[in-house]
Structure 1
């Protein structure tokens, strides 16, 4: 067998693999249609674990690397589940939903998701050109507020005046502390909660993405929001609204600050980006993937996330202290302090 013969056979095998992957997705779609018809959960974690074990077991039995086999399995499962999660499904209750600010990127994302689930969705946004105004929210069963953080509180107050007492109302803002008093007041006497999708409008689905649902005093509203949004493949985390921004000071505030500091140092280095990339290490390239995306985000939104979080000062003090600790440890002739920082990081992640 010549080298060309070998390459031809490999090509044939690759085509067979792709055809089998296509067939696998077709079968996964049939499973998804069954789940949708029964309004069953998209994800079945025990079944997913069985599939992973099957791949790893086959790899071990046949002299293959089980880690790579698992990676292949996860890629196939992710595509299957994303297809299933994006499939229209008859909801247990068809709702009339108004999205205030629904012409923005995240508002449109939710509009598409909920329309596909069979709900009637009204976009209330001057940019939509449909003539609907906030007063039209009074006809809706559920109202989602998807406006900038600085405007969310005033919109909620307006909806409090307009909407019927039984209407479910929730925002999808990245922070809650700027209007937490409004949320808690409304949550104490009507169906109000607060939601935070931990992903952006570029997400193809909710698969393996986090969805935070905050209880603002109305357990009924929290349950209702989870029922509405929780069956699309997301990992739902329920928490008191008071806890939300403490977590976000690290999850959003710290991660953004670290990335901004990183590209600020690079910018001030005087070394051209393309020149820097030509000598980049694996670690540097991994950081750059995230770093570039942060640099392209809306600076005013990122400023609001830093500035409007009532927990910002504690996190920023800890960040500043940590940077000084790293600098001091790196400059010290004694490696013990540096090693301790590394050891504590290793312990944190295990």
Structure 2
């Protein structure tokens, strides 16, 4: 599947970069499509490979300057192995999955050329990369991706470099447990059948903000939320530990243990003191 535009120097954000030939595996998905549109807008040539296009994989992958993998977490490693068979050693291989250790290891194992992992810290509903954070996990020959990193920065993105392992440790708490918290709260509110419109009419700004976050979460494909929580054993263990914390605190509430709850609060205050 070929989706491309002619090069327009007036639109190019980095004028000295020659138009690249890019293939996005999963480019019709929401995040893949965002990258496709942004890359097309500055004149790069973008092909898309979807599930029905693997008969054309040799043509779509072998001649690409960059192959960008944008598929659900549970398929990423398998797709890396499948795609690598068609890649030239000069092709730069990159994924934009929200876990980094396993995909990066798979790319380094199956592909001899340049490798890098990216994690966009935003959803596909944004209109551009401006003011958005993107985590960069170098793998091999990272200089081959410099034009892409320059493009992202030129579009206003904030690039943050982490090792894949450091990234995944942080995402346990930044993503996985947060998704569980919000999934739990959303289910609780739905079960309680509260009148959302009425609640918002008398709520604090923080409650309004929380409801907006929940509404965005529950507008997404449920597979994305669930896969983020279940992506690694470490995430599952952290969520289980969080659930145990909920249970312990709920027990104090059930017992109306005011002093116990105050002690928990005070013990935690020091952690958040700046």
- Within the candidate set 28, 33, 46, 1:108 is matched to 33
Quote the residue 1:184 is aligned against.
108
Quote the residue 1:244 is aligned against.
167
- Superposition pairs for residues 310-349 of structure 1, below 5 Å? 310-324=233-247, 326-327=249-250, 330=253, 331-334=256-259, 336-340=262-266, 343-344=269-270, 346-347=272-273
Quote the residue 1:166 is aligned against.
90
After superposition, the Cα gap between the structure-2 partners of 1:341 and 1:294, relative to the gap in structure 1 and judged at 3 Å, is farther
1:248 Cα shift?
A: 1.6
Q: TM-score, normalised by structure 1?
A: 0.66
Mapped pair 1:175 → 2:108 = no
After superposition, the Cα gap between the structure-2 partners of 1:270 and 1:200, relative to the gap in structure 1 and judged at 3 Å, is closer
- Higher percent of residues as helix: 1
Q: TM-score, normalised by structure 2?
A: 0.83
- Decide whether the 8 Å contact of 1:150 with 1:178 is kept in 2: no
Q: Give 5+ residue unaligned stretches, structure 1.
A: 1-35, 38-86
Mapped pair 1:124 → 2:81 = no
Mapped pair 1:198 → 2:121 = yes
Q: Give 5+ residue unaligned stretches, structure 2.
A: 1-8
- Within the candidate set 230, 234, 245, 2:157 is matched to 234
- Decide whether the 8 Å contact of 2:77 with 2:103 is kept in 1: yes
- Decide whether the 8 Å contact of 1:329 with 1:338 is kept in 2: no
After superposition, the Cα gap between the structure-2 partners of 1:119 and 1:309, relative to the gap in structure 1 and judged at 3 Å, is same
Q: Which has the larger radius of gyration?
A: 1
Quote the residue 2:70 is aligned against.
146
After superposition, the Cα gap between the structure-2 partners of 1:346 and 1:242, relative to the gap in structure 1 and judged at 3 Å, is closer
Q: CA RMSD in A?
A: 2.8
